Amino acid sequence: MYEDKELEEYRNLLKPPDHFEEGFGWKSVVGAIFIGFLMMPGSMYLQLVIGTGIGPAARWVTIILFAEIAKRSYTELKQQEIFLLYYMAGAALASPFQGFLWNQYLVQSDAARMLGVAEFIPTWIAPSQGSEALIERTFFHRDWFIPILFLIGSQIIQRIDQFGLGYALFRITSDVEKLPFPMAPVAALGTMALAESTEDKKKSWKWRVFSIGGVIGIVFGGIYVLLPTVSGLIFSKAIRVIPIPWIELTRHTEGILPAVATGLQLDLGLLFIGMVLPFWAVIGGLVGLLITFVANPMLFRYGILNRWHQGMGTVDTVFANNFDFYMSFGIGLGLAIGFIGIWQVVRSFGNGGSGQRGGLKELFNPPPGRGDFSFWISIGIYVFSTLAYVGLCVLLVPNFPWIFFLGYGFLYTPIISYITARMEGIAGQFISLPMVREASFIAGAKFFGYQGIEIWYAPIPIHNYGEATVNFRQIELTGTSIRGIIKAEIVVFPVVMVASLLFSQFIWRLAPIPSASYPYAQELWHLQALNTLLMQTSTLEGNSLFFQALRGSYVVSGLGFGLIIYGLLTLLGLPVLLIYGVVRGLGQTTPHGLILEVIGALLGRFFFLKRYGKMWRQYAPVLLAGFSCGMGLTGMFAMGFTLILKSLGRLAY
C-alpha cells in the first residue's frame, strides 16, 4: 500500500511552512457566533431533509463573508485566520443537542416496541415513553435535566480529550517518524484558495476553480433543495424535480434481482466526491456492489436470505439482508481489514516508514512557533479524560464489570490509535477492528451476569485517536499555531451548546421528527433504529434477536474472503485500495449513491486528469469545496424561508 503511485501524488501536494501564526482575534469570536446562530440551524435542517448537513459549505460561506467584509474594511484575512474560521465552523456544526432529536425518536419508535427494548432505554439519554416532554415536544422540561447535564459533562471532557493522545500520536508519527499523511493536504487546499482570494493581486487558479464549483452548487441546490422547500410551503404539495433521498427501483427489479436493493441517488455532490476520492477505492466499491448483485439472488435461492420477500423497498431489503447474512459477513470483512492494517504497520517498520525517520530529540523539541505544548501534558490529558470516562461509566452502569472500562481506555485505545495513526500517515486509511466494543459487552453479559442495554449508551472510553493526527497535520500545513486552536475551542464551546439547544427545540416544535416535513429522517431513521436496537438485544435476557442474526460460519467466510482478495490483489500487483472499496460495496449500506461516485471517478481519471495533468489532483478538492459552498447557500436560504413562514404560521392573530 505504501508504494501505491496514486497515494504518492497526494503526498506531494503541500509542504509544511516555516512560519506559524495563531490567527485568533475578534474576527474569530464574531465568526463563532455567526456560525452557531446562522449556520448551525441550516445544517441541522438539511440533515433531516436530505440526509447531509452543510458542514463544508458552512465553512466556506463563513470564510467568504468575512473575507468580503475585510475587503470593504480595507484589511484582509490572513491564511491562519481563515483556517481558524474553517476549523471553528467544523467544531460548531457538530450540534450536540441534535443527538437528542434522535434519542427522543428512538424511545418512541416502532423499532423499540417491535424488539421489546423501549422500557430498557435509560432515562439519562431521553425521557421515557409517555413523558410530557415528548408529548409537548420540548427540551425545556424537568425530564430533560439529567440528559442535558450528562451531555454537557461529556462534551467538556471530549473537548479537552482531543489534545491528549491524538496530539501525542501526531508528535510521534509526524515529528519523529516523518510520515507523509497523504490526505491531509486535501482539506488544507480549500482554505488556501480563499486566502489567496482576499489578496488584491490577480486571482489564482484556486479562486477561479472554487467559483466554478460554487455556481454549479447554487444552480443544483436551487433545484434539489430550494424548489421543493419553497413550493411545499406555498402549495399543498412540494414540487420535487429530483426525488429525495433517491429514486426507488427495488420493487421494479425484484423479478430479475431478488433480494437486491436498487435505486439511484441524484445528488450531484456525489459526482464531485468521486472525483476527489482515490480512484481505485471508488472502483473497489463498484466491484463490491456488483458482487452483491450476483450473490444476493443466489443467497436468496439457497434460502440464506430467507426474510426477504417481494414488495419490500430499499430500507426493508437492506435490514432483512443484514439480519440473514451481511451483518455476520461484514464483521468478518472488518476483521480482515483490521488484520491487513496491522500487517501493513508491521511491514512499514521494516521499510523504515518514509525513509526520513527522526529520533526522540524531535519528540521533545518540536518546530519553533508551532504553538506546541509539552508531550507529557498531552499524556496527562489522556490519562485524566480516560479516568473521567471510566468514572462516568461506573456511575451510570454500576452492574457492568469496571475492569472492562480500564481495559478499553488504557489497553485497546492506545494500541488501535497508534496503528491507525501510522496507517493515516502512510496511506491515508482509517483502521478499526469491528465488534470489539460489542463483543466485550456481550462477554460482560454472558460471563459476568450483566443484563440491560444501558451499557450501549454509556460514554465508554473506546476511542480511536489516530484520525486526530490528520487534523493536527492540517493545522501544521496551513501555518496555524496550535495555541490559536485551543483559544478557538474555548470560545466555540458555549456558543455551540446554547445555539444547539435553542435550534433543536425550534426545529422539533415546527413538526414531529421524523415526519413528512423531514423526508430523509422519515425514510431512513426506521432502518437505523432497527439496526441499532437489534445489536442491543444481545445483552438482554433470553434468546435475543442479535444472536439469531449472528452466524459464526458467515463471520469466518467474510474473514477468509477479505484475506483472499487482499492476497490476490497483492499477487497481481493491483492497488490495495481496491479491497477497501470492495468492503465498502459489500457493506450493504444503500448502494444508490455509488453510481454517481463511479461516474465522477471515471471522469476525473480519464478526462480531467488527461486534460489538466497532475494539477487535477489539486483542482478536484477545491472544486468540491466550491460546490459545497453553493449548496450551502441555497440550503441556508431554504432554511431561513422555512423558519420565517412556519414561525409566522404559529403566531396567533
- For residues 157 and 175, what is the distance between their CA atoms, to the nearest angstrom? 26
pLDDT tens-place string over residues 259-302: 888 888 888 888 988 888 778 878 888 888 888 888 889 999 98
List Cα–Cα distances, 59 to 33, 357, 483, in angstroms.
13, 35, 20
Q: Give the three cell numbers for residue 297.
A: 439472488
Reported confidence tier of residue 384, pLDDT bands at 50, 70, 90: very high
**Positive/negative CA dihedral, 330, 336, 338, 341:** negative
What's the chain's Rg over C-alpha atoms? Answer: 25
- For residues 550 and 561, what is the distance between their CA atoms, to the nearest angstrom? 18
- What local confidence, expressed as pLDDT, does residue 385 receive? 92
Q: Which among 18-27, 51-60, 115-124 has the top mean pLDDT?
A: 115-124
pLDDT tens-place string over residues 233-270: 788 777 888 887 788 888 888 889 898 888 888 888 88
For range 450-478, the mean pLDDT: 86
List Cα–Cα distances, 97 to 102, 122, 148, 310, 505, in angstroms.
9, 17, 8, 39, 9
State the residue for C-alpha cell 431489503: 317
For range 573-602, the mean pLDDT: 75
Give me the count of residues in the chain.
Answer: 653
- What local confidence, expressed as pLDDT, does residue 573 receive? 77
Q: Is the pLDDT of residue 451 over 90?
A: no
Within 8 A by CB and 6+ apart from 28, the residues are: 81, 84, 85, 88, 484, 487, 488, 491
Contact present, 375 and 364 (Cβ < 8 Å): yes
Q: Give the three cell numbers for residue 33.
A: 457566533
Domain boundaries, the chain: 5-638
- For residues 213 and 244, what is the distance between their CA atoms, to the nearest angstrom? 22
Within 8 A by CB and 6+ apart from 85, the residues are: 27, 28, 31, 59, 62, 63, 66, 77
- What local confidence, expressed as pLDDT, does residue 26 receive? 80
Burial 425-458 (b: 16+ CB within 10 A, else e): bbbbbebbbbbbbbebbbebbeeeebebbbbbbb
- What local confidence, expressed as pLDDT, does residue 121 receive? 87
Question: Distance between the two ends of the chain, CA-based, in angstroms?
Answer: 67
- What local confidence, expressed as pLDDT, does residue 1 receive? 41
- What local confidence, expressed as pLDDT, does residue 653 receive? 38
- For residues 131 and 124, what is the distance between their CA atoms, to the nearest angstrom? 13
Q: What average pLDDT does the chain have?
A: 80
Selection from 337, 293, 221 nearest residue 633 by Cα: 221
Reported confidence tier of residue 545, pLDDT bands at 50, 70, 90: low
List Cα–Cα distances, 378 to 160, 385, 414, in angstroms.
10, 11, 13
Distance of CA 454 to the CA centre of its chain: 24
pLDDT tens-place string over residues 428-449: 666 666 567 877 888 787 777 7
pLDDT tens-place string over residues 171-182: 888 887 777 776
Contact present, 54 and 632 (Cβ < 8 Å): yes
Q: Is the pLDDT of residue 411 over 80?
A: yes
The DSSP letter of residue 576 is T
- What local confidence, expressed as pLDDT, does residue 195 receive? 64
Q: Give the three cell numbers for residue 633.
A: 447557500
Strands 247-248 and 263-264: antiparallel
What kind and span of H or E run contains 505?
helix 482-510
Q: Is the pLDDT of residue 398 over 80?
A: yes
- What local confidence, expressed as pLDDT, does residue 516 receive? 77
Q: Nearest 5°: phi and psi at 239?
A: -95, 115
Q: Which among 78-92, 390-404, 430-444, 565-579 has the top mean pLDDT?
A: 390-404
- For residues 163 and 225, what is the distance between their CA atoms, to the nearest angstrom? 38
Q: Nearest 5°: phi and psi at 21?
A: -135, 155
- Flag whether the pTM goes above 0.85: no
- For residues 467 and 169, what is the distance between their CA atoms, to the nearest angstrom? 10
**How open is the CA angle 26-32-33, to the nearest 5 degrees?**
95
Q: Nearest 5°: phi and psi at 574?
A: -85, 155
Selection from 627, 53, 597, 493 nearest residue 281 by Cα: 597
- What local confidence, expressed as pLDDT, does residue 652 receive? 43
